[in-house]
Chain A
Amino acid sequence: MPDLSVTFAGITFKNPVVPASGTWEPLDAPDTGLAMSELGAVVNKTIFKEPRAGNPPPRIWETASGMLNAIGIPSAGADDFIKKKLPKIRKHADKVIVSIAGYTADEFAWLAKKIEQTGMADMIELNLSCPNIESHTSWSTDPALLAQAIVAVKKAVKLPVIAKLSPNVTDIAEMCLVSESSGADALTLVNTFRGMAIDIKVKKPALGNIFGGLSGPAIKPLALYAVYTAYERVKIPIIGMGGIASWQDALEFILAGATLVGIGMYTFVNPLCMRHVISGLSNYCSEQNIEKLSDCIGKAHPAT
């Protein structure tokens, strides 16, 4: 058996495959056969401090090899998550990454601390694509705001902190550098790309929220570019995601420099996609006589 384990920000994961936040709800959805324990880690749908209802419908729209979503991050809030969900995730998952967001830097820090105090999380992922209420821009599109949120969280907690960045910037590697120098222990690249569609039947924007985020195979080359360029510029490890549909896609991200890989919308296409990616990577290593998958990380870059 090839060794699929990877070490990421000081923590060893048994394999590199994790769900992208907001795309796999093992506690709410009926069981389709994939167990939490099969995955490198379980990542929850981003929680805020307070409950959120989400956006008006239509919330999703199919596009060429992808989909737009404007779900609006509905959740029952932090207390409900900590009481009802986190203990069950902790019980079944090998590793637990808790995704959080806040409208202010203080809220980010408060929530990170609250999660750390449960003792049930291995890492915290900051969803920095949501808006800051004071500036109405997303945290990860403004270097000063980005630094503010990460610094506040790092002051509040000892757990490793992952900055999940938006690709809707001119130079994402620049934002990766800002995250690293602000103390982030790792990066998640990328969240969805901003986009929209018009429903020609009614001559109106297709999504209830007008604008949404594009995900799926349509964004894979863009996401891969983000990971590859970030890997060249920063030392902290990366969770790569954006359009992964197969083990071959996952391997591309690993070769580009990702240590862990996230699968998002393809779980909607095939609820067992993450399992297929894990077994595909394992078979690939066996056939290629690769003892440790981690030897492949960043191998697409010229040797230094």
Chain B
Amino acid sequence: MPQTVTASLIKIITVLHEPDGYIDLILYNPSIAKNAGPGQFVMMKAAPVNDPILPRPFDIVDTFPREGTFRLLIKINGRGTALMNSLKPGDDVFITGPLGKPITDFSFSSCAVLFRGCGAAAVLMFIREAKKRGITVYGIASAASSDKLVCKSEISALCDEYLVATDDGSLGLQALGTEVLKNIVEGEGVDRIYSCGGGPFYLPYLMEVQDRLPVYLFLESYMGCGVGHCHGCAVPKKSRPGDPVQYTLVCQEGPLYKLDEVEDPCQIYQ
């Protein structure tokens, strides 16, 4: 039987506006703090208004079961997230979660985790879980510039190696994250690659390298409910030529997919 998911007003404990253009929230809900696993997300609606109307999906960055709290990191983007920019400690937001399939497969001994921008939000708990099991983790953070790197201290403290690629060279290598990844794959070597964010920039290399080792993606898609009622988040599964197309619901079977499980991720992976 499916798990029980919290759907209620939840209090915000702290709000940080860093880095610029992001809000970093701690929220109080002991059930989510206790039950959320790596790879899971919540749907959040900041205000009881009808415009914008839909809740927005955000990864659960981290949980603090003893305090009964969890953390979200939100990039201010369009109309819904712009409203969230004015949230203060003590405000209530409507949250449904934890949602999506928690990651439970840790049957490998090393991995490279590539993430760009708020992709960091999806990978922190996953990296911590991998480290608990003694897995060697190479973290590769990529961003436009050094001031856009999020969760830098937390993720670098967890990883065996933490490498940075910036578009402007303000920190680490001035290169695409995939160039740093390539060096690791061809140098030390890893069992698996996990990738979140970066979209079309990362895909050409990921598509190429998946012949050699398994590549996993944290997928994003437009979500209505985030739960499984609307079928809005569907993306096409890889099918053999001539076979009828089948879809997978990202909110239920994802957000993590093996790259060769889904069709044409260039179109859906943003």
Contact = CB atoms under 8 A, between A and B. Distances in A.
Q: Is the interface of A mostly helix, strand, loop or mixed?
A: loop
Interface residues of B, number: 38
A71 B247 CA distance: 11
Interface string A53-96: 11011111110111101010010000000000000000000000
A33 B233 CA distance: 22
B227 A29 contact: yes
Contact of A270 (B7, B234, B245): B7
Contact of B224 (A24, A32, A56, A265): A265
Q: Which of A53, A57, A65 has the most CB of B within 10 A?
A: A57
A25 B226 CA distance: 12
Interface size on A, as a range, is 35 or more
Contacts of B268: 57
6 contacts: A31-B2, A56-B236, A57-B268, A58-B222, A74-B234, A216-B53
B53 A65 contact: yes
Nearest to B100: A30
A58 B50 CA distance: 22
B3 to A, nearest CB: 5
Contact of A62 (B1, B53, B245): B53
Contact of B229 (A59, A217, A268): A268
Contacts of A25: 228-229
B2 A59 contact: no
B53 A59 contact: no
Interface string B1-12: 111111100000
A53 B247 contact: yes
Contact of A60 (B51, B232, B236, B247): B232
A17 interface: no
A245 B50 contact: yes
Interface string B225-265: 10111111111100000001111000010000000000000
Interface string A26-42: 00111111000000000
B232 A271 contact: no
Contact of A267 (B5, B222, B225, B252): B225
Contact of B53 (A31, A32, A67): A67
B54 interface: yes
A31 B247 contact: no
Nearest to B94: A270
A198 interface: no
A69 B246 CA distance: 18
Interface of A: 23-25, 28-33, 53-54, 56-62, 64-67, 69, 71, 74, 216-217, 245, 265, 267-272
Nearest to B244: A53
A75 to B, nearest CB: 10
Nearest to A73: B231
A241 to B, nearest CB: 15
Given A59-B234, A74-B247, A31 B5 contact: yes
A30 B235 contact: no
Contact of B232 (A28, A69, A217): A69
Contacts of A66: 53
Given A31-B3, A62-B54, A66-B53, A268 B234 contact: no
A57 B234 contact: yes
Given A31-B4, A269-B54, A270-B94, A53 B232 contact: no
Nearest to B246: A53
Given A60-B222, A267-B225, A270-B94, A71 B231 contact: yes
Interface in B215-229: 221-225, 227-229
Contacts of B236: 56-57
Contact of B5 (A32, A216, A265, A269): A32
Contacts of A58: 221-222
Q: Which of A53, A60, A217, A272 has the most CB of B within 10 A?
A: A60
Contacts of B37: none
Q: Which of B4, B51, B235 has the most CB of A within 10 A?
A: B51
A65 to B, nearest CB: 4
Given A58-B222, A59-B234, A268-B224, A65 B50 contact: yes
B198 interface: no
A71 B224 CA distance: 11
Contacts of A28: 228, 252
A61 B78 CA distance: 14
Nearest to A26: B229
